[in-house]
Amino acid sequence: MSYRDKFVVRPGCKLRLDRIDPSETGKHVSEEEARAAVEHDCARLDHLQYLMYAENRRSLLIVLQALDAGGKDGTVRHVFRAFNPQGAYVHAFKVPTAEEAAHDFLWRVHAAAPARGQIAIFNRSHYEDVLVPRVHRTLPQETIAKRYDRIAEFEKNLHQAGTHILKFYLHISKEEQLRRFGERLDDPRKQWKLNAGDYAERARWDDYRKAYEEAIEATTTHRAPWFVIPANHKWFRNLAVARIVADELDGLGMKFPKPPDDLDEIRRAYEDARRATF
């Protein structure tokens, strides 16, 4: 079974995150044993992203969501390093600015969507505008339900315009989150990430789990599927995400554009320049 089939959340399913093992590693037993597979898929990503950029007919949107310390930054750093920045970019959605808050909640998201030939990685996304309000009860449930509908319609419109969408929830355990918080305390390179508010949000663990289950169930579709990726082991998270994205791009049947009609003339000009040089 492919990673796509194994980890996809199918439309109409009932999702229970507490029944999914965040420590799963598939057939692999260690990071060292899986390293070659990760490198192979990253090499595929490098080639396929270049092909998408050259073809310039469609685009790809990758959404990364997780609880605090879930591995969004690490996934960007270790998996999507394979992409050429000329044809790919990362957009991090933080607390809305005053201008953004004055518009509808999808206004700033649409502006960040990828153009043809581009790959966009959302580090957090429009889903923050349904998850956080649900947990903190700053919006009525009726409004949140309407936002699910608007998100589904928004993603449908993107897909119809040629944007393929893959959405990943990086699934870690409560114990693993606390361990990673401890790593940040002890590592000067990670202390800048420390935030006392993370512990207040941690107290709402079960609320966030239920919010994610509801949001994923409401918005996973065949054209914009959600994947729940076991992420306690960072190396397996990287492998699973890289494999799913590479398989998606590979399945698009992309082709390099045809050479220009005046290729023979260009070749003659090259030969003339080469002779003049040597």
The closest of 95, 211, 198, 192 to 145, measured between CA atoms, is 211
SS3 annotation, 17-83:
HHHCCCCCCCCCCCHHHHHHHHHHHHHHHHHHHHHHHHHCCCEEEEEEEECCCCCHHHHHHHCHHHC
pLDDT recorded at residue 61 = 98
Helix (H) or strand (E) holding 207: helix 205-219
Its pTM stands at: 0.94
Q: What confidence tens digit (pLDDT) does each residue in 55-93 have?
A: 999 999 999 999 999 999 999 999 999 999 999 999 999
What DSSP state is assigned to residue 225? Answer: -
Strand 163-171 relative to strand 226-230: parallel, antiparallel, unpaired? parallel
pLDDT recorded at residue 207 = 97
Decide which of 3.40.50.300, 3.40.50.150, 2.60.40.10, 3.40.220.10 is the CATH code for 3-277.
3.40.50.300
The closest of 96, 66, 34 to 236, measured between CA atoms, is 34
Helix (H) or strand (E) holding 247: helix 234-250
| Low pLDDT (below 50) residues in the chain | none
Q: Domain locations in the chain?
A: 3-277
pLDDT recorded at residue 188 = 84
pLDDT recorded at residue 120 = 98
pLDDT recorded at residue 263 = 80
pLDDT recorded at residue 195 = 78
pLDDT recorded at residue 40 = 96
CA neighbours within 13 Å on the CB side: how many for 51? 15
Strand order in the sheet with 163-171: 8-9, 226-230, 163-171, 59-66, 119-123, 88-92
pLDDT recorded at residue 51 = 97
